[in-house]
Structure 1
Amino acid sequence: MDDPARWLSLAETIDGDRARELGRELGTTKERAALVLLGTAFPPLCTLSGPRVDAFTRLVSEGLQSERRAEDLLRKAPQPRPGAGDDPAFGAALRRFVWAERARIALRELLPLELGGAPIAITARELSALAEVSLALALAEAEAFVAQQAGPPRRADGAPSTLVAFGMGKLGGEELNAGSDVDLVFVYDTDEGESSLPLHEHWTRVARRAVATLDTPTEEGFAWRVDLRLRPEGSRGPLVNSVAATERYYETWGRLWERAALLRARPIAGDRALGALVEREIITPFVYRHTVDPTIALGLADLLERSRRELSK
């Protein structure tokens, strides 16, 4: 859809007055016409500051018709600078990048398929990939920052200590929509070791900083709303848990709804090998029991009914 007149015509079909107002403000080149369409269809998304306009017009000039997977997004995303310390410029650049990509995805969902649009399944997959890449970058920046302050985290045997972030809910299932929170659970390898801090405190600081990079409100908004309530013990529990603590919690206290929630758990950032170990040694045995509880069907039916009641409020 390279004819800007067609972008503008579609915008006027949605809201003629707003489309004409934005057209006068932004111009009617191909890239600006696409922004007019976006701002007409999704006013809350379209905060028209200069850097955002520039970022979005660059995306449109690159083409809208191809799906961007995580590896594509990672190549284009801003990278944290090694040794930069507390660098607000990285967070600002990441927020602008996320905004521009969300705008591109929203525009693709808006357009008919024959005009380069994307079906809902691809929209959900692209949004999930964008959230995954955002977290991976925020986590890498946070790990480097805390290590610069406290030293590299090491296990008792001298090997590097690591952490993995699991995507839960819609993120874990690659089903994000434009209004979704990002549900996360953090697990680190062991409490046996230290940096200049105990490993639990070290990884708590890393996770807290990564989450703040994504969801702290700024003048430019925020990248993602983050929800950590699916972790062991929910909002009352520690922000991060070791492998041993995670296993102990699910073996002792794990409930049916947590088994259901973990069906969609997926390691998305940090140490993927550690994530695979947690899946194999903790999640799979907890979710898929060797013996069948005859009451589980009734419990799941009750859980589903309660979820429906909550959604209908």
Structure 2
Amino acid sequence: MALPEKTMTRITHGAGGGPEVLVPEVGPVPEPRAGELLIRVMAAGVNRPDVQQRLGKYPPPKDASSVIGLEVAGEVVAVGEGATRYAAGDRVCALTNGGGYAEFAVAPEAQCLPWPTGYDAVRAAALPETYFTVWANLFGHGRLAAGEAVLVHGGTSGIGSTAIQLAKEFGARVLATAGSAEKVAACRVFGAEEAFDYKAQDFVEEARRATGGRGVDVVLDMVGAPYFGRNLRVLAMDGRLVLIAFLGGDRADEVDLRPIMLKRLSVTGSTMRPRTTAEKGAIAAALEERVWPILSAGRAGPRIHATFPLAQAAEAHQLMESSAHIGKIVLTVSE
């Protein structure tokens, strides 16, 4: 297969470390394998798992690129054997298995979706990792249904803002936590019925008050250990706790487990990267059927906090780690 170019700029992180290890280098353009697309990257989303990979805590699968980056938007330039839905020139956004911080990236065709109507590359690149994660965890593992109440932690992150919007879109009551008055206000803009400043308020007490003492049906949590016991307490009968990250730590000692039995609680969680292509493809198909029409209608889309040129990936990671952002951070790669 003749590739459009032989070399490209990509971001390397060497042996790992702080944001400063992210530097541009020249490397070969990847060649799409069977069932894959080669995409000329126009924009790439920045996510917390990218930070974890840079630190050496979230290694890519053995057959995936070692380059950081899990979501891109751009133009198809070549297709691998057996890839039939898209052709050169089509514009797609993709959940990659790695390699997104580059001028070209490959992704399984099953993990690619068309840009929603009216979207540009930056907004399209902000979709895959976040929307795949929210759909699989909040509506899949969490089984959130219309009329139920959900508590979303980290409500102004990319994940949090998406979860708030989609939960409301599908008829749930949404409560959220955030770390400042500005972020609490942003949660309400996204659609949260109420939001609580976790630095100044007890979210268990506030969520119980907001639900008339009943508690919430689902908690979507990315904090981990420090919230584990409180999450169990805030859940209603038959509630579900869904864990998607451990930003506050992954070891919860001296936790009262009795609420799990007394309230018939379910504790679950997942990561996206270890799933098979077939599993990710099923999530993509569900998103295209259930969520993409909503996005194309101009609702429940990503909020872009900041963009950085690809060469400034280090600055993008510094912002991510500061937690000062509201919404998504995106790298711009090409026109």
Under TM normalisation by the shorter chain, which class is it? under 0.3
Q: Please give the TM-score of this superposition, normalised by the length of structure 1.
A: 0.26
Question: Which structure dedicates a bigger proportion of its chain to helix?
Answer: 1
Higher relative contact order (CA 8 A, sep 6+): 2
Question: Which structure dedicates a bigger proportion of its chain to strand?
Answer: 2
Larger gyration radius, structure 1 or structure 2: 1
